[in-house]
Amino acid sequence: MSSQNLKFSLNNLQNEFGVERIETAIAAVEKFEVEVPSWIFGQFGGGRFGDYMPPGFARDIFEKLDDAALVNELTGASAQIATHTLWDFSDDGLDATFDKAAEVKKAAEARGLRLGSINPTYFLQGSHTGSLSSYDDAVRERYVEQTILSGKIAEELSNKLLSLWLPDGSNYPGQLELTKLIDNTMDSLKRIAKQVPESVRVLIEYKVFEPGTYSTVLADWGSSLLMAQAFGPNAGVLIDMGHHYHSTNIEQIVARLVTMKMHGGFHFNTRYAADDDHSVEPNPEMARI
């Protein structure tokens, strides 16, 4: 668009909405940033059923930081990077350490980046019985402790934001007791809440299905809302744009949460085939929201 057309369009907007409102909007856009997830640079090729990996994928967190720095250089609006605790702060995928997180923070800053939301990793080895809802006390304890560590990392090394997504659910009727899964999850979150400082914002994400094919513990905004309310005043609901049934009115969900003065956040995603298609183009719902 030519500068003349831009000026014409700007004048039209100012005439319609007023100069002050347009200047406020422009200032907000100039400060707007999108947090980039570290895992998008890793081994994610081939979809669910293929093993193709595009060349040049990042092999560790430091190569992910290199890629994220390039994206920020190109866009000027993505200096913050989200990390996954067991992918990025662990050497074996089982146990993370605060020292490794501190090393990653230092490496990020050397590349002009800063750590954003910290995401506990609930879906690696040992999670087939669930994570925070697991019937196995040892498994549940492991994930509770990982979440508490993630809260410490969020408090001391990042932007004080903890993002939780649980893969917990079941594959067929009768496999697991649904009420027990809910009770275990709520109990785990209450235990975590006692150890995570209130200065840390905790957002609880939902997903309509997957990996469980029959039931999902946190399948909708209402289930996440209940867990957030049980957690405490520093908790809220994370809305992933790709985690809904087709035709779901996401704007109405946002309106409900805003009315309840609930903390919130967004993951930009799509749901062309089912849900969670991982496409990165802008979502039409965002304009309506």
The DSSP code sequence of 197-243 is -TTSEEEEE--SSSS-SSEETT-SHHHHHHHHHHH-TTEEEEEETTS
Q: In the sheet where 235-240 sits, what is the strand order?
A: 36-37, 80-84, 114-119, 161-164, 201-205, 235-240, 263-267
Number of domains within the chain: 2
Spell out the residues 6+ positions from residue 54 whose beta carbon is closer than 8 angstroms to its own.
45
Are residue 205 and residue 113 in the same domain, yes or no? Answer: yes
Query: What local confidence, expressed as pLDDT, does residue 47 receive?
Result: 52
CB-neighbour burial class of residue 54 (10 A; exposed 0-12, middle 13-18, buried 19+):
exposed
- Asked whether residue 43 falls in the same domain as residue 183, the answer is yes
**154 and 24 belong to one structural domain:** no
pLDDT in the model for residue 164: 99
Residues 48 and 2 in one domain: no
Residue 23 shares a structural domain with residue 125: no
133 and 273 assigned to the same domain: yes
Q: Which domain holds residue 144?
A: 34-288
Q: Please report the pLDDT score of residue 256 as a whole number.
A: 97
Contact 249, 289 (CB under 8 A): no
**Same domain, residue pair 73 and 122:** yes
Rounded CA gap, 113 and 78, in Å? 8
**What is the mean pLDDT of each successive set of 10 residues along the chain, which is 289 residues long?**
84 94 92 92 64 80 98 96 97 93 99 98 86 96 98 99 97 95 98 98 95 94 98 98 89 97 91 68 71
Q: Residues 41, 118: one domain?
A: yes
Q: In this predicted structure, what is the pLDDT of residue 94?
A: 87
Residues 184 and 44 in one domain: yes
pLDDT on residue 118: 99
**Residues 233-251: pLDDT tens digits?**
999 999 998 899 888 999 9
Q: Read off φ and ψ for residue 25, nearest 5 degrees.
A: -65, -40
Same domain, 10 and 72: no
CATH number of 171's domain: 3.20.20.150
25 and 43 part of one domain: no
Backbone angles phi, psi at 122, to 5 degrees: -100, 5
Q: Are residues 27 and 119 in the same domain?
A: no
